[in-house]
Amino acid sequence: MSRRFRRNGDAANVVVVDRIRAVEVPVLTEAKRYIVRGEVSAALRFAYPKVVEDLSRAFGTALPEGYSHEELLARSFTPEMAPLVDFFNRLYALYAPARFGDGATPESGEEALELLQSLYAAEPMWRLYVTPGEGALPIVTPSAEPVALKPEEEESPWPT
């Protein structure tokens, strides 16, 4: 049996920078619930405003509620947000009939989910919903002086 992995260095030199617990973005979860029930228009009417709100929070820019889609792009989108413009535009193209017209087509549900996944794949967006992972190791620093135990706190030979 051959070894596939070799140990390079000491395991004690490994440093964990960040521990996070993977969770699905609540906007995606809720949009899926609507779509599974056949309510694609409701999914889009829910998701688009949440995306606008999350873009504002994630990129630290003002996306005022009263702005039209075009105004948001022209006045509020930053260069950091540029990779998301195509996904955001396509999501709006699905949202507009759901909000202002006769409703979204049932087949547009899958595309809407794909667009939401693409929008929330950007690190600033998914980081909005990250929670610290369990099992993160605390930082322990040795004290300069040993701490003297009080008589009632002396170590017991019995496990506690």
List, for the chain, all residue ranges whose pLDDT scores fall below the cut of 50: 135-147, 149, 160
Cα–Cα nearest to 126, from 135, 134, 117, 114:
117
- In this predicted structure, what is the pLDDT of residue 31? 97
- Where in the chain are the domains? 20-132
- Class of the CATH-defined domain 20-132: mainly alpha
**Cα(74)–Cα(18) distance, integer angstroms:** 36
Give the per-residue pLDDT at 142: 41
Taking only the tens place, the pLDDT of each residue in 107-149 is: 999 999 999 999 999 999 999 988 665 544 443 334 444 445 4
By the 10 Å C-beta count (0-12 exposed, 13-18 middle, 19+ buried), 124 is classed as middle
